[in-house]
């Protein structure tokens, strides 16, 4: 499995990792990923799809992540309210995003940018950011 090969190429015990598995993945894949994650307590936080390969060395990634100091590095844009009618925050947003181009990137930007709904380490006020970036173009 490519994800296991990738993990073996970049694994360092001082780093944290997260393996994102597609909901349609077969049982064998789920079993292997669960067994690997059960063996290592630090498999939690870096997200790569099954076909991605790191474009930076481990040392470069450590330096970048150290400089980020736990903050998010994500692109955000004004939310299009007409797309969702109710708030069951993450589950509903994820269902909506399933048919979009970069669902995982949109999901994490949405979660991190709404600390009043989803408080988390490294989160930020997305409304404040957009107001500063676009000025009066964003409705509160």
pLDDT > 90 fraction of the chain, expressed in percent and rounded: 0
The least confident of 23-27, 37-41, 61-65 is 23-27
**Secondary structure of the chain as H, E, C letters:** CHHHHHHHHHCCCCCCCCCCCCCCCCHHHHHHHHHHHHHCCCCCCCCCCCCCCCCCCHHHHHHHHHHHCCCCCCCCCCCCHHHCCCCCHHHHHHHHHCCCCCHHHHHHHHHHCCCCCCCCCCCCCHHHHHHHHHHHHCCC
CA distances from 58 to 54, 105, 107 (A): 9, 22, 25
Q: Cα 52–119–12 angle (5° rounding)?
A: 35
The average pLDDT across 35-48 equals 68
Model confidence, pTM: 0.35
| Cβ neighbours of 129 (radius 10 Å) | 13
Q: Calculate the average pLDDT of the chain.
A: 73
pLDDT bin (cut points 50, 70, 90) of residue 126 is confident
Cα gap 131→138, rounded to integer Å = 6
pLDDT for 35 equals 84
pLDDT for 45 equals 38
Q: Residue 128: is its pLDDT beyond 80?
A: yes
């Amino acid at each position: 499995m490519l994800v296991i090969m990738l993990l073996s190429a970049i694994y360092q015990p001082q780093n944290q990792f997260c393996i994102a598995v597609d909901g349609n993945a077969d049982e064998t894949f789920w079993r292997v990923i669960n067994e690997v994650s059960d063996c290592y307590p630090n498999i939690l936080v870096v997200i790569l799809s099954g076909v991605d390969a790191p474009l930076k060395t481990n040392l470069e990634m450590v330096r970048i992540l150290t400089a980020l100091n736990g903050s998010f590095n994500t692109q955000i844009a004004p939310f299009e309210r007409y797309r969702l009618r109710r708030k069951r925050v993450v589950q509903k947003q994820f269902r909506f995003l399933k048919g979009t181009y970069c669902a995982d990137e949109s999901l994490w930007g949405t979660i991190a940018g709404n600390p009043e709904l989803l408080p988390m380490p490294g989160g930020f006020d997305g409304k404040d950011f957009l107001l500063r970036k676009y000025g009066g173009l964003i409705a509160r």
